[in-house]
Amino acid sequence: MTTTDTPLTKVLGAKTAKALATHLDLHTAGDLIYHFPRRYDQRGEHTDLRRLEVDEQVTVLAQVQGITVKPMRARRGNMLEVTIGDGSGATLTCTFFNQAWRERELRKGVWGLFAGKVTDFRGKRQLNGPAYQLFGVDATQDDAAAEIEEFAGALIPVYPAAQAVPTWVIAKCVRTLLDTFEPPADPLPGDVRGKRGLVGIGTALREIHRPSSEEALYRAKHRLKWDEALAVQLTLVQRRARAAAAPGTARPRTEGGLLAKFDAGLPYELTDGQRQVGEEIAADLSRPHPMHRLLQGEVGSGKTLVSVRAMLQVVDAGGQAALLAPTEVLATQHYRGISAQLGALGRAGELDGDPAGTQLTLVTGSLGAAARRAALAKLADGSAGIVVGTHALLYEGVEFKDLGLVVVDEQHRFGVEQRDALRAKAARPPHVLVMTATPIPRTVAMTVYGDLETSILSQLPRGRSPIASHVVPALDKPAYLDRAWVRIREEVRAGHQAYVVCPRIGDDEETPPKDDEPARRPPLAVTEVLPLLQNDYLKGLRIGMLHGKMPPDEKDAVMRSFSAGNLDVLVATTVIEVGVDVPNSTVMLILDADRFGVSQLHQLRGRVGRGSAPGICLLHTESAEGSAARERLDAVASTTDGFKLSEIDLEQRREGDVLGASQSGKNSHLRLLSLLRDEKLIKEARAEAGELIGDDPDLSRYPALAASVTALVDEERAEYLEKG
């Protein structure tokens, strides 16, 4: 009998078990049984070969349509080109170097599974030296018929695989395992299974690998999705309950304090959204338990202002507040912006300061020794009520008198240890406000940030201008790129400024292609593009450069110069993605835009149109029309609705039509659950988790369920989920 704890060496033999362990990190029968197929194929079904992305590891079901042997020019020998297709008209080329013997088995008309990395050669998609499994080759007529029935007569599982362990090898290993596998005790309580109409765990695990029908496969997936959703929701509900009961320090509003003075001096009215969110945060801060709140808001929606008002409430109540930013550029921008907003209220003790105010200080890694000592002294004695800083705030030697509020900007850029290191500098657990300008779909908020209360700022302040976005297809229509440079010149002539964004700095980190291996062009780099602009495309304009490897003082000088209008064009990497606010910037050209994610493009685009003049965002690409990359860019160009784009981003990252890069390793703990399509199931699991934890906070009555939660959501993952 084989259980989930049985080592694979006892089930499959040492050689196969070693391959699974080395290449896929699968060691036990439980690891393998929970290594679910990513999709299922049937002979005759079409895979849209036109949607394959360059550099993806894919597995396709196709038929050999033609074979050609060609001599190679670069070296001695020949190249075998095999054209495969799915019957829809789309084809893919498979290439083999000095392996002419394969012509004998890759005969025209043979069906098979082909697995490899997609490359591009002169505009054509191909697989170089793919692994393959053919139906009926080297078998008798009867054996061939049986094999085709085995693979093509039923649903064919296609697994996350590796080059050394293709999907059909995994399928055979699973079939061997299922012969002796004894499923674990069902972790789901019987009443939950009955109420939700869920099949047993043993049935689900067998049918997910060897489905007897489409209906059986659906029921198996539905049950296993429930396990994943419930495990995550139980973890989050437990953590939220513990956080609600944890002791903290109440920081209620003070009549006539700094916050009241700050509000009275604002030159504009708060939006309705800012007022509502401000009241939610104020109520949280007034309770004797630590606040754990997520603040979502589109670029320019006024999140920083909301956080400043929260920080002033804490300072009024005798505490200190720290704003943690991911980069020096962003920290410096926040410091200057908050300093301007506070005015005399942030300069207590200075000649022009308000005696009833506080002090604002900045702590970054590039501070000189004297400035660092002065800043740390202000934190230690409490004279600095608000500090803005980078990771430098986490270092040993940074001490607070009474840290009451931690504001984390762009939370996803910080690890759990970094955030906890700052929280640990408080005598009692501080209130925590997490901010993000990356819109988060509702199901992601429930699943990843589910132990946080959520506030959303969807209303943009008055005065923000619209942004028009256009795709610049450089290969299809080269004249469009020429027009893009002209458009930048036009904006500069009108007195405005521009960004040119590149995906790479340019330190020759690209690996050179192997002989006879077609290579994708390296992403465009800042250091390579800059001289081209200076000497040709934008010659005569004042052009600066900004990237993450520049010394901090140089970065600061460039940003100051650009903000002051002394530069016309800034050529930069994504270091400008968040926090950079230059209202006079009206146009952005993103080179190789297909190399960026949807949310990242949306963030970058938010750097223009921040003043009274409308913004323009140009998305340059060499991706082919109809490709997934091009569709992604078309989606970004079609809407400025961040939440709509976040769902498109989620769908493309998690639910592609072909096996993506995750094929080469273990997936996330969410193997089956779709955060995009399973919203109803996730809501039901959250409700069920609330009932179970309400009756039994530690799940002591359900040991099997508690164990399954631990297995699906290990300690590292659980810590990641604890965003507060």
Q: Taking each helix axis from N to C terminus, what angle separates 303-316 and 328-342, rounded to the nearest 10 degrees?
A: 60
**Which of the 8 DSSP states describes residue 286?**
T
Helix (H, G, I), strand (E, B), or coil: what is residue 293? strand
Cβ atoms within 10 A of the Cβ of 231, count?
26
The β-bridge relationship of strands 57-71 and 111-121 is antiparallel
**Cα–Cα distance between 39 and 221 in angstroms, integer?**
11
Cβ atoms within 10 A of the Cβ of 514, count?
10
Q: Which residues pair with residue 7 across a beta bridge?
A: 28
Domains 258-457 and 467-511+520-639 share a fold: yes
Provide the CB-side half-sphere exposure for 607 (13 A, CA): 30
634: confidence class by pLDDT, cuts 50, 70, 90: very high
pLDDT at 558: 92
- Token pair 């089930």 is found at 11
Q: Which residues contact 94 (CB under 8 A, 6 or more apart)?
A: 81, 82, 83, 84, 114, 116, 126, 127, 128, 130, 132
Burial of 23 (0-12, 13-18, 19+ CB in 10 A): middle
**How far, in whole angstroms, is CA 612 from its chain's centroid?**
32
* Tokens coding 654: 């998690």
Q: What is the strand order of the sheet 615-621 is part of?
A: 467-473, 615-621, 585-590, 497-501, 569-572, 543-546
- Amino acid (1-letter code) at residue 268: Y
Can you list the pairs that 218-226 forms with residues at least 24 positions away whose Cβ atoms lie under 8 Å? Answer: 221/672, 222/198, 222/681, 223/198, 223/199, 224/36, 224/671, 224/672, 225/672, 225/673, 225/674, 225/678, 225/681, 226/188, 226/196, 226/198, 226/681, 226/685
Q: Evaluate whether 224 touches 672 at the Cβ level (below 8 Å).
A: yes
**Cα–Cα distance between 707 and 700 in angstroms, integer?**
11
Q: Which residues contact 37 (CB under 8 A, 6 or more apart)?
A: 157, 158, 159, 208, 209
**Which of the 8 DSSP states describes residue 508?**
S
Q: Answer yes or no: is pLDDT of 645 > 50.
A: yes
Q: Which of 111-115, 126-130, 447-451, 608-612 is predicted with the least confidence, judged by mean pLDDT?
A: 447-451
Mean pLDDT of all residues in 315-326:
93
Architecture of the structural domain at 467-511+520-639: 3-Layer(aba) Sandwich (3.40)
Tens-place pLDDT, residues 604-624: 898 888 888 899 999 999 988
Q: Answer yes or no: is pLDDT of 417 > 70.
A: no
358: confidence class by pLDDT, cuts 50, 70, 90: very high
Q: Answer yes or no: is pLDDT of 166 > 50.
A: yes
Q: Answer yes or no: is pLDDT of 653 > 80.
A: no
Helix, strand, coil shares of the chain, percent, nearest 5, are 40, 20, 40
Q: Answer yes or no: is pLDDT of 425 > 70.
A: yes
71: confidence class by pLDDT, cuts 50, 70, 90: confident
Q: Evaluate whether 248 touches 283 at the Cβ level (below 8 Å).
A: no
Q: Which of 165-169, 200-204, 404-408, 537-541 is predicted with the least confidence, judged by mean pLDDT?
A: 165-169
Q: Evaluate whether 272 touches 460 at the Cβ level (below 8 Å).
A: no
* Tokens coding 133: 């499994």
Q: What is the strand order of the sheet 431-436 is part of?
A: 359-363, 384-389, 320-324, 403-409, 431-436, 292-297, 453-457
Q: Answer yes or no: is pLDDT of 165 > 80.
A: yes
Q: Answer yes or no: is pLDDT of 183 > 70.
A: yes
Domain ranges of the chain: 43-153, 258-457, 467-511+520-639
CATH no., domain 43-153: 2.40.50.140
- Token pair 């999140």 is found at 303
Q: Evaluate whether 596 touches 623 at the Cβ level (below 8 Å).
A: no
**Cα–Cα distance between 175 and 157 in angstroms, integer?**
11
Q: Which residues contact 79 (CB under 8 A, 6 or more apart)?
A: 69, 70, 71, 72, 95, 96, 97, 98, 516
Q: Evaluate whether 362 touches 387 at the Cβ level (below 8 Å).
A: yes
Q: Evaluate whether 716 touches 443 at the Cβ level (below 8 Å).
A: no
**Cα–Cα distance between 59 and 272 in angstroms, integer?**
51
**Cα–Cα distance between 427 and 442 in angstroms, integer?**
34
**Cα–Cα distance between 293 and 701 in angstroms, integer?**
31
pLDDT at 642: 75
Q: Which of 44-58, 241-255, 618-632, 653-667 is predicted with the least confidence, judged by mean pLDDT?
A: 653-667
Q: Answer yes or no: is pLDDT of 522 > 70.
A: yes
The β-bridge relationship of strands 403-409 and 431-436 is parallel
Q: Which of 6-10, 214-218, 325-329, 613-617 is predicted with the least confidence, judged by mean pLDDT?
A: 325-329
Q: Where are the alpha helices (DSSP H) in 153-297?
A: 167-178, 190-196, 201-209, 214-245, 258-264, 272-285
Cβ atoms within 10 A of the Cβ of 603, count?
22
Q: Which of 15-19, 115-119, 135-139 is predicted with the least confidence, judged by mean pLDDT?
A: 135-139
Global pTM? 0.64
652: confidence class by pLDDT, cuts 50, 70, 90: low
- Where residue 87 falls (left for φ over 0; alpha for ψ -120 to 50; beta otherwise) is left
pLDDT at 661: 28
Tens-place pLDDT, residues 7-40: 999 999 899 999 999 999 999 999 999 999 988 8
Angle at 394 between CA 388 and CA 399, to 5 degrees: 80
Q: Which residues contact 235 (CB under 8 A, 6 or more apart)?
A: 709, 713, 718, 721
**Cα–Cα distance between 279 and 301 in angstroms, integer?**
17
Mean pLDDT of all residues in 87-112:
86
**Cα–Cα distance between 54 and 68 in angstroms, integer?**
23
Q: Answer yes or no: is pLDDT of 140 > 50.
A: no
* Tokens coding 638: 């079609």
Mean pLDDT of all residues in 92-109:
88
State the average pLDDT for the chain: 83
Please, what is the end-to-end C-alpha distance for the chain in angstroms? 44
Q: What per-residue string of b and e applies to 259-272 under the rule 16 or more CB within 10 Å gives b?
A: bebbeeeeeeebbe
- Token pair 């999907």 is found at 167
pLDDT at 207: 94
CATH no., domain 258-457: 3.40.50.300
658: confidence class by pLDDT, cuts 50, 70, 90: very low
pLDDT at 188: 93
Q: Answer yes or no: is pLDDT of 514 > 50.
A: no
**Cα–Cα distance between 320 and 325 in angstroms, integer?**
17
Nearest to 259 by CA among 319, 325, 335: 319
Please spell the DSSP secondary structure of 358-392, one letter per residue. Answer: -EEEEE-TT--HHHHHHHHHHHHHT-EEEEEESGG
pLDDT at 139: 37
**Cα–Cα distance between 378 and 376 in angstroms, integer?**
5
In three state form, how does the secondary structure of 509-537 look? Answer: CCCCCCCCCCCCCCCCEHHHHHHHHHHHH
Cα dist from 676 to 338, 445, 552, 667, 673, whole Å: 37, 11, 40, 17, 9
Q: Which residues pair with residue 455 across a beta bridge?
A: 295
Q: Which of 88-102, 115-129, 177-191, 508-522 has the highest mean predicted lDDT (pLDDT)?
A: 177-191
Q: Evaluate whether 130 touches 85 at the Cβ level (below 8 Å).
A: no
- Amino acid (1-letter code) at residue 390: T
Tens-place pLDDT, residues 667-704: 345 688 877 678 889 889 999 999 999 888 889 999 98
**Cα–Cα distance between 506 and 524 in angstroms, integer?**
8
Q: Answer yes or no: is pLDDT of 664 > 90.
A: no
**How far, in whole angstroms, is CA 561 from its chain's centroid?**
32
